[in-house]
């Protein structure tokens, strides 16, 4: 784990940071306690799609163990083509969130979320 003080001040500058996390076992969307019903309810409430949100536009990316927190990460493509990360975590600062990747890779986004630095969401 990269310590926060070893990273650039602004998480938007983390695009060149190399970071890797172990996956959870099993590394599946079904292992998430919120999948699929509660996750789609959240997307309907938080995305621009509202009643037009479709599970077919939700794509599982990965699970991750970041510090002591367990994460499940998806991309959701809104009807207008905008893509956001949907994140559920247990034991970390996030619980359930939908935000813009801000140019970060999935792993960089997970690190930013872990450190509470996802401010462009």
> Rounded distance, CA 14 to CA 21, Å?
16
pLDDT digit string (tens) for 55-114? Answer: 999 999 999 999 999 999 999 999 999 999 999 999 977 799 999 998 999 999 999 999
pTM for this prediction: 0.93
HSE, side-chain direction, 13 A CA sphere, residue 66 = 30
pLDDT digit string (tens) for 36-47? Answer: 999 999 999 999
């Amino acid at each position: 784990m990269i310590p926060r003080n070893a990273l650039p001040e602004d998480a938007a500058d983390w695009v060149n940071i190399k970071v890797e996390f172990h996956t959870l076992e099993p590394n599946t969307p079904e292992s998430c306690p919120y999948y699929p019903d509660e996750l789609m309810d959240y997307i309907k409430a938080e995305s621009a799609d509202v009643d037009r949100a479709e599970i077919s536009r939700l794509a599982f990316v990965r699970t991750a163990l970041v510090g002591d927190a367990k994460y499940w990460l998806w991309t959701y493509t809104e009807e207008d083509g905008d893509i956001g990360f949907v994140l559920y975590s247990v034991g970390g600062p996030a619980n359930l969130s939908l935000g813009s990747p801000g140019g970060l890779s999935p792993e960089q986004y997970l690190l930013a979320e872990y450190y509470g630095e996802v401010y462009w969401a």
